[in-house]
Structure 1
Amino acid sequence: MAAEHATYASFALAPATRAGGVLAGGAHLITHREFTDFVVDGRPLLFRLADLDAVSPLAADVPPAILAERVRALLLEAPAPLPGGRHLVYGCPECADLACGAVTAVIERDGEDYVWRDFAWQTGDRPDLRLDGYRGLGPFRFRGDGYRAALTGLLDRAHDAREDGRRVLLVGARATVLNKLAAALRSIGIGADITHDPSGVPPEELRAYGAVAFGRAVGEERKEEVRAAFRRAGADVAYVSGLAPVIPLLVARTEEALDRRPRDRRRLAGLRATEREAVVEVSSRCRVGLTVHRVGRLRRTHEHVAFDGVLPPGSHSLPLDPESVRGEAFLVARTSGEVRVAAVPH
């Protein structure tokens, strides 16, 4: 039964971050995660759980179909994911495995209201409330209209991001790079989701992506499986692969891939490189910034501004410092609203 004596609490959602990093001694890498947190009576619910390293199920890097399923469950429009009507409120930020431990609660309807009660720390099918319950936390009674508006608003914003075509699917094995890239893309308004297997994603979801970015560790067989899934869905996407794991470079290449305008409608019409110069083509007078991204010894990355100035229409040869392009190097040319990427030949 719903908690009879729970007083009304306000319910809202807010963006939150679990910062990444490395533990002392570099023994373990902490994965950067972005998620939407639950705000109860103006305070993030996570703050009421002292020293808990966890994220909500509304993570920014889950595919839209999974996010929608989780929101529907919180709205009680889909079955509860755990026995006893229990829902995961906060889980492991590294693997989301219940075995690592999670904060769960019973969510139920009472008339038009939603009630969250019996919060507990759970590692198996059912928690022991006497041993693992969070005494003093809840129950919370939320007015149905505000509760539904907050959760459906999250889905509306995710839908709007998909509709504008500025969305990319990241496929790879290096979680650290993928999470950093996803965070960087979202910071400039590009939606980014991470997956290892898109075969189970509904066709309408796949058609919402404008590009797919493969990590270097993804083999050709796996790439073809991903391309086949998009072909079956009738999705016309651009594919990005082969670049060094340098976040600004990967962001630039993704931006370029999402720009599907014909060449004759671009200011920055072309970019190519030799070992000594960059050749930049512009269709109208504009300011161009040219940056070199290089991976040196010990996989360290280096950045060098090769040119920043106004160019008239035409093709322009810009000299490159031989030291700045030694090893594996890439050029990124930018002008207002446009970007081009080119590899420097060895």
Structure 2
Amino acid sequence: MATINHLQTRPAKRYDEFDPAQDGNRNTEFADLIIDGKSLYQRLKKYDMVPSLGWGSANHQRLMIDYFLLEQRHEYMYYRYPILVCPWCGDEECGFISVKIDREADTVIWKDFMLEPDNKRIPIGSFYFNWENYKSVIYGTFGTAGEAL
């Protein structure tokens, strides 16, 4: 049996208050995914993308939540979902990082992180989460940063 990881979220911004890179850039606010105390955003920051949860229109946020709770399959990726997206618009056409999400009984598994559309594997994961904790955390991302698309 795999070790169960602990998932939580916290509101975050793309740039901190004193970061000179924020000048002229969109300082997107989002729900950062924290796995065992470590920020997924910070782990993957070199790709200049932000987590797809917690920001955008209400309809967009609900769609992301449905994806992560496996209530709706992605239109063309099936069991893969956009976990980090363009910080300007959230559009998948700008490139994104996807993850394969599976559920086995009371365990949710995130594995095979890929840089899209290059289909290039990113060497992190797999992560295993308890379903009840996971579901509560994912639902809790709604409205983290309000509407912003």
Give the gaps of 5 or more residues in structure 1.
Answer: 23-28, 162-185, 187-191, 196-346
Corresponding residue number in structure 1 for 2:11 = 15
> What is the letter of the counterpart of residue 13 of structure 2?
T
**Percent of aligned pairs with the same residue?**
25
Partner SS for 2:112: strand
Contact 1:6–1:139 (Cα < 8 Å) also in 2: no
Counterpart CA distance in 2 for 1:154 and 1:84 is 22
Counterpart CA distance in 2 for 1:110 and 1:143 is 10
Contact 1:46–1:52 (Cα < 8 Å) also in 2: no
Partner SS for 2:50: coil
Corresponding residue number in structure 1 for 2:113 = 119
Query: Whose helix fraction is larger, Structure 1's or Structure 2's?
Result: 1
Matched length: 144
In the superposition, relative to structure 1, how do residues 145 and 43 fare at CA in structure 2: closer, same or farther (>3 Å)?
Answer: same
Counterpart CA distance in 1 for 2:92 and 2:133 is 29
**Structure (1 or 2) with the larger CA radius of gyration:** 1
1:271-304 deviation digits (Å, cap 9, x = unpaired):
xxxxxxxxxxxxxxxxxxxxxxxxxxxxxxxxxx
Corresponding residue number in structure 2 for 1:53 = 48
Counterpart CA distance in 2 for 1:73 and 1:100 is 19
Indicate which of 131, 139, 143 corresponds to 1:152. 139
Alpha-carbon RMSD? 2.3
Give the gaps of 5 or more residues in structure 2.
Answer: 16-20
Corresponding residue number in structure 1 for 2:147 = 193
Counterpart CA distance in 2 for 1:104 and 1:16 is 20
Counterpart CA distance in 2 for 1:194 and 1:84 is 26
Q: Is 2:128 the partner of 1:141?
A: yes
Corresponding residue number in structure 2 for 1:103 = 97
TM-aligned CA deviation for residue 7 of structure 1: 2.4
TM-aligned CA deviation for residue 134 of structure 1: 1.4
Partner SS for 1:138: coil
1:114-171 deviation digits (Å, cap 9, x = unpaired):
00000111116xx2xxxx1112x1111101111011122334xx4xx9xxxxxxxxxx
1:223-244 deviation digits (Å, cap 9, x = unpaired):
xxxxxxxxxxxxxxxxxxxxxx
Corresponding residue number in structure 1 for 2:70 = 76
TM-aligned CA deviation for residue 17 of structure 1: 0.2
TM-aligned CA deviation for residue 82 of structure 1: 4.2
TM-aligned CA deviation for residue 100 of structure 1: 2.9
> What is the letter of the counterpart of residue 71 of structure 1?
I
> What is the letter of the counterpart of residue 31 of structure 1?
R
TM-aligned CA deviation for residue 98 of structure 1: 2.7
Which residues of 2 match residues 291-330 of structure 1 at below 5 A?
none
Counterpart CA distance in 1 for 2:34 and 2:116 is 21
**So what's the TM-score if we normalise by structure 1?**
0.38
TM-aligned CA deviation for residue 6 of structure 1: 3.9
In the superposition, relative to structure 1, how do residues 80 and 73 fare at CA in structure 2: closer, same or farther (>3 Å)?
Answer: same
Which residues of 2 match residues 237-316 of structure 1 at below 5 A?
none
In the superposition, relative to structure 1, how do residues 107 and 65 fare at CA in structure 2: closer, same or farther (>3 Å)?
Answer: same
Contact 1:84–1:106 (Cα < 8 Å) also in 2: no
Contact 2:9–2:137 (Cα < 8 Å) also in 1: yes
1:62-110 deviation digits (Å, cap 9, x = unpaired):
1222211211110001113442411111111123233432111100111
Counterpart CA distance in 2 for 1:143 and 1:94 is 32
> What is the letter of the counterpart of residue 41 of structure 1?
D
